[in-house]
Amino acid sequence: MKKTNVALATAVTGLLALAGTAMTTSTAVAAEAKEKCYGVAKAGKNDCATKTSSCAGTAKTDGQKDAFIMVPKGLCDRLAGGSTEAK
């Protein structure tokens, strides 16, 4: 009985370690596949600070030129009013 419990505990520990590694890797890959897209965020829906405020979600108007949202790489160029650089 003891050998079975040790084997089961070892297997579960290994699976948890493997799952943690896989989640870390997929998060890193996902972060690389995104870019900042300026000028397309709705009022109050920007992802980070702007030139005029220090917090996310503080864009005053729709399409504010210095407010951005994170989008998949390559999408910003296809959005009306989108730019990868702040204006």
Q: What is the pTM of this model?
A: 0.58
Using alpha carbons, select from 86, 8, 2, 7 the residue that is nearest to residue 47: 86
Using DSSP's 3-state secondary structure scheme, residue 31 falls into helix
CA 23 – CA 25 distance, rounded (Å): 5
pLDDT in tens, 5-38: 666 666 666 666 666 666 555 555 555 799 999 9
Q: Phi first, then psi: what are they for 25, rounded to 5°?
A: -65, -45
Q: What is the mean pLDDT of the chain?
A: 79
Q: Kindly state the helix (H) or strand (E) to which residue 77 belongs, with its residue range.
A: none
